[in-house]
Structure 1
Amino acid sequence: MSYRTVFITTLITTVILSTIYFNLYPVDVFLSGRQRYASLGKQAKTCECTQTDSCSYKWIVDGLSTGLYEAEAKHNYPVLSKSKLPKLLHKNPRYILNPDKYILPLLEGGPNNQIFCIRETIFIAVKLNRTLVIPRFFKHFTDSQSDGTTFIYPGHRLNIETVCNLVSCISLDNFQQACEGQLDAVMTFRTKIETKTIVSHTGMTMKPTTGEFGIKLIHRLFPGIRQDKVFSKEIKKTFGSEDRCLLYQRPLFNLLIEAKNKKGRIIKKSALSAISESDRTYRTNDIKLMEDITRHTQASPYIGKLASDFLQHLVGNRSIVSVHWRYNQGDYFRRCHNILKGKNQLVRMQKLCSKVLNYTPEDAVKTFVEKLATKADYSPGPNESVNTVSDVYIASPPSERLFIKQFAGILWKEKRWTVHTSEELEDYITKVYDCDVTKRHLYDLISSLEMEICARGKVFFQSTSSTWSANVRTSRLLCTREGTLPEMDSAIL
């Protein structure tokens, strides 16, 4: 037998054996834990997922395609006849809005900013009488399972069913069809139109027109004046339009709503600060609407169920004190360095940053114990005293795990209190909730779950100037949870 024949025979045999081997033993068998999930998250392709895998918690929403909401936007959809209105995701919402005028928000920022974008858009949709289009959400740019802009299914971020029980809403694909693939106009406070982002997030083009940007703008810009807020009573005047298909670019913290001061006088306040106050005496109709919107934009039911199951596994029926420690050396410290250089002149933030940049785990333990001691005598009912709590859950960026471990060691030594972190949560999820969605979105889900865990704490210590903390805080104030004392919440620093 010639060398060439031997070589070819050996090569064919090797290929056949390798194929059999790797079919029997997939590559991910040789990876474990965090490494395995990170690898699978990066490799996973978007598919039209079903609830037939090992996921025991329902996360898919009727009427929302997983393929559309997690894939790159494509321009291949059928056109819906103008005589046929798109199907609502819920038949009988509380606010029945115009079924032939729509508003689609172009979300911005991290996961929590995206939720605030949705809330602001819903408020404006009610004022303008426009049906809400459920937009595409995306992961934080720091997520290791993201490649820049990686889309994530809306059902992982919000309870879409309660959103659509509140206001008329339709899916993105129905919006695309009803508008024949074109956006009529863009609502914005900005001078820059993010054309590429709009196309990639909507799968639609913009109807061309004459003017500086080549598209129709509905915005509040005056020569030489930067206007980036709109008062609730001016929404119709500012954004009123006969155009059917509107996109709202950057709907984040542009809204001022009507509130009252302690003397009963009407004032303008940001929507977030108005609903974050524990004093509920001076509530206007605007505040009531925004509170209602906030209650209907909470976490998906499966996130809440998974958080409850984890806490039961972790501490049983014992209560926890929850803490959000946002002060990481990457993102937050970089912001602080800019503030201290004078780019942000807020004295309060300058003082906070000066403190944070030099903080040690020993300092953090001392502050935490002192703050908790001030609440020890507060007991609104039987078995509700903070004195009964010996478990602390700390949510923090992964980069701060060493700091938190040192904090935990000191707290255990001084007080015999047990600190729990995302490491335990990650281990629990990868063992109990082993399915495709976890592999693709593990770290995004951990952040959402930690918010729910912190919302269930007897007392919550929040991080200043954090939308993550603000979301937990408003949830605790507006959504009743047994055993929690939101009136005792305060900032950790």
Structure 2
Amino acid sequence: MRYLISCVKTLIIVAVLTLLSNFCIERSAFSQLSLTRNLNRPSYGPNILSDNASSQLPPVVKKRQCVWGPPPKKNVVPKIKLDPTKFLYPGIRAGPNNQMRQLLKVVHVAILLNRTLVVPNFYSHFSVGQQIVQPYQRVDVDRICSLVSCVTLETFQKVCNGTFHYVFLQNQDFNEKFYKTTAKDTGLSIRWPWDKPTNKFKSTSGPTVERIFPNKQLSLSEIKKYFDVPKPCALYPGHEDDMSFFYLKPSLPLPDVVEDISKLQEDDLKFAIMEEVGTLPHVIDDTALAYSQKVFKGDYVGVHWRYDDSDWARHCTVLGDPTCKNVKKISGKHIATAIHNDLQKFMTKFTQGINIYIAAPPSMSTFAQSIVTELKQLNSTFHIAPLTLEQFVTDKIDSCFKKNNWHFGDTLSLIEMALMQKSEYFYYSKSSTWSKNCQQRRWFVPQDGKLAVMKYEASIFDLSEAVLLGSS
């Protein structure tokens, strides 16, 4: 009986391995224009597990064997070794893309203060409840730890014995909700409120948490001056996005071992941080590559239209963004005309049709469809792909994402971001952190090994607004 059971198990394993090995991606022979989302997208949280035996992995990702959890522990030697007795936890906040940009800043601060980086929790978008997102589902943890010394939250908790020692602030403080959420999610206490005369958190028991709050925007030298303190466990809340990372010029890679940080140019260090810390998880990058090989033929154009009435509208009601004046007047026809007109200068490069991918919020699926309709009328080489990204993920690798507790909407957004990063031409949404995160990764290295250069991009809002004003 045992022998029979053993044989059955062996046959099942062989069958599964054969199924995976025989699956391959057929390259598409058509031009494509893909809508990225629809309003009927399935959504699942961390408690839903699924094993879909018929779900086959693309070759580029099946080698991962569906193990998309935390990367295996490695003896990684970081280029920048930081003090192993002091730590900095990034208290990142706001939307997913703001969190990624804030992390760049906190890594820079950790280097300046010579504090080992704690790889933090991330959070999903507020529209789905801002659930905790594991770091390996948002960034490439291995690449971060290959740049700077880092530890897990679990290690940080053991070292800190249940409490933060400091909160580092610059020109703004945060509300009680932020501190309570951070304390709950890290398992480390932060006493609230603080005693303003002493800038220390009140505490009836346990250690005192000191709030260092100069109440001004600090220069690099001032960061060292104010935050060079002895105790090990510090929290650095996510401040406003550091836009200096966005305007960097490319630099050559850092040496394998950085002996003296002071000898590095600031922009060279920041560019290295952007390259390593701003990298998406490998499985996201692999999935984007698999999809592009499946549906695109040659180079493709990426378009991001961000301006929805639900989330983006607060930029108009609260932030007073200058795009608000005309954004609601712009139609799908204006956008399609802007894309069509701007691509005319590249038409000789599109010998077999124009491949376009449009990324937009789920609430704008109908509006995005109007862009597709207008593009097809303007140029017959624009075609809608029979396989959307959503279909691809659902049909091919959805079970793996579910098995490893990836949120579907979050995952699609990251894959779209990877697609925009890989596109040869990119029409971005100005004032959008999602677009900015795509832009900062759109470098390529020429064949002669010279410095990286930026691929073509332009503001889709500016181009569409010009069509609007020109037609009025």
8 A contact 1:310–1:428 mirrored in 2:
yes
| Other-structure match for 1:424 | 388
* 2:361 partner letter: P
Q: What do the CA deviations read for 1:297-355 (whole angstroms, capped 9, x no partner)?
A: 2111111111010111112x42111011101121223422445xxxx3xxxx43x2222
For residue 154 of structure 2, the aligned residue among 156, 173, 195 is 173
Q: Summarize deviations over 1:413-455 as a string: whole Å, max 9, x none.
A: 2202436689810111011003153475111010000011111
CA 208–138 in structure 1, closer or farther in 2 if over 3 Å, else same: closer
TM-score by length of structure 1 reads 0.71
SS in 1 for 2:125: coil
Provide the secondary structure at the position in 2 that maps to 1:274.
coil
Q: Which of 160, 185, 195 is equivalent to 2:179?
A: 195
Equivalent position to 1:448, from 406, 410, 414: 414
| 1:329 is aligned to 2:309 | yes
Distance 1:481 1:176, change over 3 A: farther
- Could you tell me how far apart the structure 1 residues matched to 2:270 and 2:210 are? 29
Identify which of 295, 302, 305 aligns with 2:275: 295
Q: 1:330 to 1:319 in 2, by over 3 A?
A: same
CA contact (8 A) 1:186 1:217 kept: yes
Shift of 1:54: 7.8
Q: Is the 8 A contact 1:155 1:300 kept in 2?
A: yes
Identity %: 25
Tell me the distance in 1 between the aligned counterparts of 2:173 and 2:282: 39
Distance 1:446 1:235 in 2: 37
Residue deviations 1:366-425 (CA, integer Å, cap 9, x gap): 11222223x427xxxxx8x35765111011101111111111111112202436689810
Contact 2:430 2:459 (C-alpha < 8 Å) held by counterparts: yes
Change (3 A) 1:35 1:481: farther
- Residue 101 of structure 1: how far off its partner (Å): 0.1
Q: Aligned pair 1:488/2:456, yes or no?
A: yes
Residue 109 to residue 208, structure 1, CA distance change in 2 (3 Å): closer
SS at match of 2:312: helix
Greater relative CO, 1 or 2 (CA 8 Å, sep 6+): 2
1:125 paired residue number: 110
Structure 2: how far apart are the matches of 1:365 and 1:278? 32
Structure 1 pair 486–191 and aligned structure 2 pair: CA distance change class (3 A): closer
Aligned to 2:407, the other structure's residue is in SS state: helix
In structure 2, what residue type is equivalent to 1:272?
F
User: Counterpart of 1:205 in structure 2: which amino acid?
Assistant: S
Structure-2-length-normalised TM-score: 0.74
CA distance in 2 between counterparts of 1:131 and 1:370 reads 50
Q: 1:366 aligned to 2:337?
A: yes
Indicate which of 221, 225, 233 corresponds to 1:245: 233
1:18-40, CA deviations, whole angstroms, 9 ceiling, x for partnerless residues? xxxxxxxxxxxxxxx996942xx
Q: Corresponding residue for 1:357?
A: 328
Secondary structure in 2 matching 1:104 = strand
**Cα drift, residue 463 of structure 1:** 0.3
**1:62 aligned onto 2:47:** no
1:272 and 2:272 matched: no
Corresponding residue for 1:113? 98
1:81 aligned partner: none
Q: Which residue of 2 aligns with 1:30?
A: none
Whether contact under 8 Å (1:390, 1:416) holds in the other structure is no
Partners of 2:386 and 2:446 in 1: CA distance: 22
Separation (CA, whole Å) in 2 of partners of 1:191 and 1:405: 43
**Structure 2: 5+ residue stretches without partners:** 1-37, 203-208, 253-263, 462-472
Q: How many residues align?
A: 383
Cα distance, 1:458 vs. partner?
1.2
Cα deviation digits, residues 229-281 of structure 1 (max 9, x gap): 3222322013221121001112442x5xxxxxxxxxxxxxx423432x6899x
Q: Describe the SS at the equivalent of 2:271.
A: helix
- RMSD value over aligned CA atoms? 3.2
Residue 218 in structure 1 maps to residue 218 in structure 2 = no
**Residues 63 and 171 in structure 1, CA contact (< 8 A), matched pair in contact too:** no
Give the residue type in structure 1 aligned to 2:294. Answer: H
- 1:322 is paired with a residue whose SS is strand
**Equivalent position SS for 2:346:** coil
Matched, 1:391 2:334: no
Tell me, which stretches of 5 or more residues in structure 1 are unaligned?
1-32, 65-88, 222-226, 256-269, 378-382
Counterpart amino acid of residue 388 in structure 2: E
User: In structure 2, what residue type is equivalent to 1:489?
Assistant: E
1:153 Cα deviation after fit: 1.7
Match in the other structure for 1:318: 298
In structure 2, relative to structure 1, the CA distance for the partners of 1:422 and 1:114 (3 Å cut) is farther
Greater Cα radius of gyration, structure 1 or 2: 1
